[in-house]
Amino acid sequence: MILALSRTELTLLLRNKTAASLALAMPLLIGALLMVNGPSGWTFIIVLQLVMMLGFTVYMTVTTSLVGRRQDLYLKRLRTGEASDQVVIVGLLVPTIVLGFVQAVVLLGMSTIAGAPLPERPLLLLLAVAGGAAMCCAVGVATSGITSTPELAQITTAPFFFALFGGAIWTLVSDSVDYRMMLVPGGQVAELVKAAWGGPTDNVGLAVVSLVVWVAIGAALAVRHFRWEPRS
């Protein structure tokens, strides 16, 4: 049943040109531009590419598409069927997560071809991508609950979106990384990616804890705020 929901959701994502270009073209384009103009070393480029993927492809797509499906009263319909509430939500999230992973692979492939070294600790890279995607999904579901129309999603997604970028850049430019940066979403992702490419591992534990906490916060807010039908 999850597969059926996901397949339909993927079809819908790809048929909506705005959503598809936001989720697919944007991060790839900017990711490519970063490589051309990237004077700051490969870690910097790869962190920004992955954060871009998390922000655009996962976080914004999850929020916007859930709000759109709710607006279309499609969520309400799905709720009348046999699938449980959890299955419906997971079914709708899977395509976005898959798109995010595919994009991560493509971006890393592009960087590798352009001369980036391979990660020394690939597990940490996987953790950054998977944990970051989980966090963005959870917070995205929560954000959709407080967003009444797909247009408004551009505003409601801004705080977390910028926190994600801000946290990543803060961590990248700081000479000594401490717990404050690890608490910001994006900060932990950046730290894990840095560690994957041979950076210091002192903060890895804290970064993982922070990711787990952010997923928990997002999930709690999602349970509290998620709505199946538009406010009437």
Partner 1 sequence: MTNPVIQVEGLRCSYGDFEAVRGVDFEVAQGELFGLLGTNGAGKTTTLEAVEGLRKATRGTVRVLGSDPLADRRAIRPRIGIMLQDSGFPGDLTVAEMVAFGQSISSRTSDAATAIEALDLAHRRDVRIKQLSGGERRRLDLLLATLGRPEVLFLDEPTTGLDPESRQHVWEVVRGLLAEGTTVVLTTHYLEEAESLAERIAIMHEGRIAVAGRVSDVLARQPARIGFDVPAGFDVSVLPMLYGDVVHEPSGRVEVRTGELQRDLGELLDWARGDGRVLTGLRANHASLEDVFHAVRSDEKVMSR
Closest distance of CB 1 from partner 1, Å: 6
Residue 68 or 119 with smaller CB distance to partner 1: 68
**DSSP code for 42:** H
- Quote the CA–CA distance of 3 and 1 in Å, as a whole number: 5
Candidate ranges 81-89, 148-156, 164-172, 208-216; the one touching partner 1 (CB under 8 A): 81-89
Tally of residues, the chain? 232
- The two three-digit tokens of residue 204, written as one number: 């890895």
**Window 41-70: contact mask with partner 1 (x via CB under 8 A):** ----------------------------x-
Cβ neighbors of 154 (< 8 A, separation 6 or more) are: none
Candidate ranges 82-90, 96-104, 145-153, 163-171; the one touching partner 1 (CB under 8 A): 82-90
The answer to whether 52 and 24 have CB atoms below 8 angstroms apart is no
Q: Round the CA-based radius of gyration of the chain to a whole number and report it.
A: 17
Residues 109, 114, 116, CA angle at the centre, nearest 5°? 75
Residue 77 or 180 with smaller CB distance to partner 1: 77
Task: State yes or no: residue 223 binds partner 1 (CB under 8 A).
Answer: no
Closest distance of CB 229 from partner 1, Å: 9
Among 10, 38, 42, 74, binds partner 1 (CB under 8 A): 74
Binding residues with partner 1: total (CB under 8 A): 21
Count the Cβ atoms, other than its own, within 10 Å of residue 9. 19
Residue 92 or 190 with smaller CB distance to partner 1: 92
Among 40, 77, 149, 213, binds partner 1 (CB under 8 A): 77
- The candidate with the shortest Cα–Cα distance to 59, out of 20, 15, 91, 100, is 100
Closest distance of CB 77 from partner 1, Å: 4
Task: State yes or no: residue 72 binds partner 1 (CB under 8 A).
Answer: yes
- Quote the CA–CA distance of 224 and 165 in Å, as a whole number: 26
Among 81, 109, 117, 205, binds partner 1 (CB under 8 A): 81
Task: State yes or no: residue 37 binds partner 1 (CB under 8 A).
Answer: no
Cα 177 to Cα 51, 123, 180, distances in angstroms = 18, 21, 8
Count the Cβ atoms, other than its own, within 10 Å of residue 50. 28
Task: State yes or no: residue 21 binds partner 1 (CB under 8 A).
Answer: no
Contact set with partner 1 (CB under 8 A): 1, 4-5, 8, 11-12, 15-16, 69, 72-74, 76-84
